[in-house]
Amino acid sequence: MSSCVEDPVEILLVEDNPGDVRLVEVALRGLSTDTELDVVTDGSQALETLSRHLRNETIPDLVLLDLNLPRMDGFEFLEEVQDRSALARIPILVLTSSNSCEDVVESYERAANAYLTKPTDPDEYIEMIETVAGFWFEQVALPPSHA
């Protein structure tokens, strides 16, 4: 892991499906990297959480974002983050069941750092999260979480 990020790695999961939340939790427990997972169920809650972090002069190290959310969907969230310079440097990985080319294009146009389609098989889902986490926490140099 990069020397810019200290343990534990803070992850904000924006996901309204309890089953998917559980799979992410299982995957993160299997990592050698110490992680803290904060879960919210829509884009509005995610923005509130990020605003609270900014008041404390910290931000999460990574956001995992579903697109299909109540109240404020993932696209609206991405747009809000992109418009706020203090949040724009947070790596955001779209994690969704959609494999629509339009959704992929729109996510990247709104500054998503990666687009991942959720596998339907739970074991494959866990394996994907472990692989993504290994890459983002052990290979990628992330900025420090202090705003």
For 55-112, the pLDDT digits (tens) are: 888 889 999 999 999 999 999 999 999 988 888 888 999 999 999 999 999 999 998 9
Q: Which residue segment(s) compose the domain that 87 sits in? A: 9-139
Answer whether residue 88 is part of any domain.
yes
Answer whether residue 82 is part of any domain.
yes
Segment (H or E) for 60: none
Answer whether residue 3 is part of any domain.
no
Q: What's the rounded Cα separation, in Å, for the pair 77 and 46?
A: 8
Answer whether residue 94 is part of any domain.
yes
pLDDT of residue 139: 81
Answer whether residue 81 is part of any domain.
yes
Answer whether residue 20 is part of any domain.
yes
Answer whether residue 145 is part of any domain.
no
With H, G, I as helix, E, B as strand and everything else as coil, classify residue 99: coil
Count structural domains, the chain. 1
Q: Does 147 have pLDDT greater than 60?
A: no
Tokens of 83: 């418009």
Residue-wise pLDDT for 111-130, tens only, equals 899 999 999 999 999 999 99
Question: What CATH number should be reported for the domain holding residue 94?
Answer: 3.40.50.2300
pTM of the model: 0.90
Answer whether residue 1 is part of any domain.
no
The single residue listed with the structure tokens 């983002």 is 136
Tokens of 122: 């739970």
Q: What's the rounded Cα separation, in Å, for the pair 43 and 121?
A: 26
